[in-house]
Amino acid sequence: MDMIGFDMYYQHEPSRVSMLDTGTPESARELPCDGCSMYEECGAKLLECVAFRQWAADGDFMDKDMGRLRRAMK
C-alpha cells in the first residue's frame, strides 16, 4: 500500500496570492471613457476609440486620441 505524503506547512503558511504576477498592466490613468462625450453612443454601438485601445494595452493614453478612429470592439 502506498503512503500519501502530507505537508504540514501547506495550510499554515501565509497566502502568497498577492505575490503572483497576473500580467495585467497597472493603469497610469483612469478609463478614458469616463467623461467622454461619446460614452453613450460607443456603449450602445459597442465601439472603441484609439484612447481606449491604448489604455487597455498599457494603462495610459494620449488625450488627443479620445474619440479618434472608433471601430467595433473585438
Per-residue pLDDT tens for 20-60? Answer: 666 666 788 899 999 899 999 999 999 999 999 999 888 89
Q: Is residue 54 helix, strand or coil?
A: helix
Q: For residue 33, is it within any domain?
A: yes
Q: For residue 36, is it within any domain?
A: yes
Range of the domain at 60: 26-72
Q: Could you tell me the pLDDT band of residue 9, with boundaries at 50, 70 and 90?
A: low
Q: For residue 35, is it within any domain?
A: yes
> Residue 2 above 80 pLDDT?
no
Record the cell numbers describing residue 1, joined without a space. Answer: 500500500
**Residue range 4-31: average pLDDT?**
69
Q: For residue 9, is it within any domain?
A: no
Measured CA to CA, the distance from residue 73 to residue 47 in angstroms comes to 5
In this structure, which amino acid lies at residue 65?
D
Q: For residue 20, is it within any domain?
A: no
Q: Could you tell me the pLDDT band of residue 7, with boundaries at 50, 70 and 90?
A: low
Classify each residue of 22-35 as buried b or exposed e, where b means 16 or more C-beta atoms within 10 Å of its C-beta.
eeeeeeeeeebbee
**How remote is the C-alpha of 56 from its chain's centroid?**
6
